[in-house]
Amino acid sequence: MSGSDLEVDGHRIALTHLDRVLYPDGTRKYDVIAYYLAIADAMLPHLASRPVTRKRWPTGTEAAPFFEKTLPAGTPDWVPRFTIAHSEGEKSYPVAASSAVLVWFAQVSALELHVPQWRIDLSAGHEERRTDRLVLDLDPGPDVPLTQCGQVALTIRDVLTDAGLPSWPVTSGGKGIHVYAQLPWPVSADSARKVAKQIAVSLEKAFPRDVTASMSKAARPGRVFIDWSQNSASKTTLSPYSLRGLAQPWVAAPRDWSELSDPDLAQLRYSEVLERFSQSGDLLGGTSATAAAPAADLPEGVVDLGVYRRRRAAPMLAVDQPIDALDNDTWAFEGKWDGYRVLATVRESRLRLHSRSGNDLTDDFPELAPLAHAVPGGDMVLDGEVVALDADGQTDFGLLASRRRRAEGARLEFFVFDVLELNGRDLTGAPWEQRRQILEELRPSLAGLPNVRIPDLLPGPGARAVTRARDMGWEGVVAKRRSAPYRLGTRSPDWRKQKNWNDVEVVIGGFRLGRDGANRTLGSVLVGLPAETGLRYVGRVGTGWTQAQAADLLAELRTLTISRSPFLAVDAPVASSATWVLPKLVVDVQFMNWTSTGHLRHPSWRGIRRDKLPGDVDPAGSPSRAP
């Protein structure tokens, strides 16, 4: 497979050396090309209208790379370009306006694609570099694990939320994490840099042992450096979904905020990113909502930068923000369920089901086929969640994910909570309150379907809705602004979600070191609940503490080490790298709920209970919360 021609977006690209191994693990140029083609729908919006600086490895990542800014000789004339004046003269940069450009990048072994935060703006009066997003690059110092970066990122999220800015995390594919924030309107690059620096400096003052905003490398050991400077007009950042030119084909991968609390948080390979995109779509979708420069304003010699963006129907998403203080007049409250987000489209009595990433799920859920005839002669688009219910009527994602492997099956239902179109009328521009009224009018037609339900709203205000959802054992609450339209494919603060969390007192029976194996780095603690002859293992806790707290805890645990496990049973992969300790310390842990195997889901450290002994701990954790 030495080479061939590939036609992409109407352009024929000559491909050579497709079998050339670019990564030590055997990843070839062919694989890189296939990855960029498969991820193009997610990647291109984040490269939109931004000049691309490339980092190339022509003979593979084990050799030295080189940065490339200007377009090389032989660049196809159909590649869009943008000229920037530098002190040494003008330079023409490529702009990734199509899948074809991504394939051309891969053909020349441009593995890393770096872009500024500002967009090319060719409209009159806007010659300065302007941006509608900012980025904070969290770079861990020596011996600082990725999980510590995750904790800093979560703190930054809270700061941005308080400022009214939605934000998204991206594991960088290297050592750290990028946090992106969406600005309400474009600002100058200098203004964005100042805001980013203010956030970094304020966190350094609040957490001097864990965070630094200083450029000095001497300040970084043991700390996370928050690099605010990448918002400068002259700086670039690795674009989301770009590969890294490292030992493995890791990717700058958008993540869900809940993942940053995982004690096993790690960088993702390109194959993992493709699988996640097929299941969940672009988790970073909200940062690409601003349109590119209008085509009419593009001068001669610059290819239209706005024509490539494919508008694909994708559901509106909620941001993670507290809702306790929201009032009932401005906001409506719905339950949050753990299932598959689905858009159901009925056209001429034919039903199609699509996931949030656009995958066709129609054949996966034949139980919903009667929805095609629920409203006689009525075409419609409904938004909702496909869930599986357990014997108690609670949604259970585990049942949904494994229902094909279970002989007894699972009770499946489609919870409908929005209507986007009805009888040819586009309702996305209507306020939520009007759409809800129309949905209520559909209730009699949908009520006769065995697997379709319109869940009732939760009573407000926010605090009451949260309490009710917690009492019902639901995953959480979604608050929706009553006056807000439906914004397809965006994650908007007009929708806010808050998950329910519980507290439990557990006993530490062991610990594991961080992934880097450093003796002074605590990875996680193994916890359990008292039983007659030992501890019943309930999971690992590896987030929620500061680096200083983790160091103090590890020092204390080392004084309690014993040779045998105090647990009745522990999963073999966990036990293989565990150090056992005398079950003496009682600790308080926050968690979402119990898994079907009796483990804590998404546990987070809260602190040691010095006032309690293991004998004081409830063996069931809590009568109302135990599995």
Give the pLDDT band (50/70/90) at residue 472.
Answer: confident
CA–CA distance, 203 with 199 (Å, rounded to integer): 6
Position 579 scores a pLDDT of 94
**Residue range 156-184, pLDDT digits in tens:** 998 888 788 889 999 999 999 999 998 88
SS3 of residue 278 by DSSP: helix
Domains 317-499 and 502-616 share a fold: no
| Domain 502-616 architecture | Beta Barrel (2.40)
- Given a contact cutoff of 8 angstroms between Cβ atoms, the answer to whether 600 and 501 are in contact is no
For the chain, the C-alpha Rg in angstroms (whole number) is: 26
The whole-number average pLDDT for the span 13-34 is 93
- DSSP string across 311-343: ------EEEE---TT--TTTEEEEEE-SSEEEE
Residue 387 three-state SS? strand
pLDDT given for residue 294 in this prediction: 31
Could you give the count of Cα atoms lying within 13 Å of 612 in the half-sphere of its Cβ?
17
Q: Any idea where the domains of the chain sit in the sequence?
A: 1-114+270-310, 117-235, 317-499, 502-616
pLDDT, residue 518, reads 47
Q: Which of these is catalytic: 29, 55, 336, 499?
A: 336
Summarised one tens digit per residue, pLDDT across range 555-599 is 999 999 999 999 998 888 788 889 999 999 999 898 877 887 888
Q: Where are the beta strands (DSSP E) in 104-241?
A: 110-115, 130-140, 167-171, 177-188, 211-212, 224-227, 237-238
Instruction: Give yes or no: 480 in active site.
Output: no
In this prediction, residue 326 has a pLDDT band, given cuts at 50, 70 and 90, of very high
CATH 3.30.70.3300: does it fit domain 117-235? yes
pLDDT digits (tens, 9 = 90+) for 40-86: 989 999 998 899 999 999 999 999 999 998 888 889 989 998 888 77
Separation of CA 19 from chain center: 33
What is the distance between the alpha carbons of residues 537 and 146, in angstroms, rounded to a whole number? 25
Is pTM beyond 0.75 here?
A: no
pLDDT at 400: 73
pLDDT band at 288 (very low <50, low <70, confident <90, very high): low
Given a cut of 60, whether residue 623 has pLDDT beyond it is: no
Q: Which CATH number fits domain 317-499: 3.50.50.60, 1.10.357.10, 3.30.300.30, 3.30.470.30?
A: 3.30.470.30
